[in-house]
Amino acid sequence: MNKLFRAACQLFMLLTLSNVSYAGSYIGFGFGMLDYAQDNVESATLPDSDDPQVIVRQIDGGERPERIRDLDDNLSGLKVKFGYQVTDFIALELRGGFGVSPIKLADYGEEVITEFITLPVAPPNDRAIEIITTPVDAELSLKNYFGGYIRLGGDFPNQVVSPYVLVGHTRADFAVTESTGGAGGKLRDSSYGAGFNIRLNELLYINLEYMQMFDRKEIEVQEFTIGIEYKL
């Protein structure tokens, strides 16, 4: 478990047991736009056949999987969060979400046209096969993500607009799919962000937020979210 998230849990228990008078729970729902950037994305292709009478090879003779390069595009997703307002200035949050629109990878392929190769099959079946070798139908999607965070600010007394900063840990499951197969990958990283709540009444808020979800050597994911927050 991430050290920061473990520290947040310990702080949550300490302040809860202290019967802090500011304590209160809230839930939230949001729509997010994720900016996904990656130099190389691996995409699954038609596997070699187990049938000794069939020969399946990539047209360029290279090793699978195919590569999609210089990917930088937007994914959209829905998310839900549950928070506990420990004081007026500190809250702990758990969040989860899933993607609703994938990225079509055809525009990022080194070869986006469909290529065919005809190969002979060993006797006694003297025939030929055609293999599509370029993943023109591949898509990158966000399957799901979840995380735990500490929020500083966001619910200042007698303030219509309450800014805040956010820090924590996020885990996400991404997938590359196409007609002949699929591949995927899981990411985990420390996350941070900032936003502000706009108070509509004593229980309801509108929320705008930016978060740096992942900032790794090969992948960077940023999220821009609009949502609502409701005090329980």
**Residue given tokens 């108070």 in the structure block:** 199
pLDDT score for 139: 80
For the residues 186-214, what does the mean pLDDT come to?
A: 94
pLDDT score for 174: 87
How sure is the predictor about 39, in pLDDT bands with cuts at 50, 70 and 90?
confident
Question: Using one digit for the tens of pLDDT, what is the confidence trace for 202-226?
Answer: 899 999 999 999 998 778 999 999 9
Question: Using one digit for the tens of pLDDT, what is the confidence trace for 80-134?
Answer: 999 999 988 899 999 999 999 888 876 676 543 344 444 555 555 544 444 444 4
- Give pTM, 2 decimals: 0.70
For the residues 138-154, what does the mean pLDDT come to?
A: 91
Domains of the chain: 3-231 (2.40.160.20)
d(CA 176, CA 65) in angstroms, rounded, equals 11
Listed ranges 3-7, 9-13, 135-139, 221-225; the one with the highest mean pLDDT = 221-225
Which residues have a Cβ under 8 Å from the Cβ of 93 and sit 6 or more positions away?
81, 82, 83, 84, 148, 149, 150, 151, 166, 168
Amino acid (1-letter code) at residue 157:
P
d(CA 213, CA 170) in angstroms, rounded, equals 7
pLDDT at 168 over 90: yes
pLDDT at 154 over 60: yes
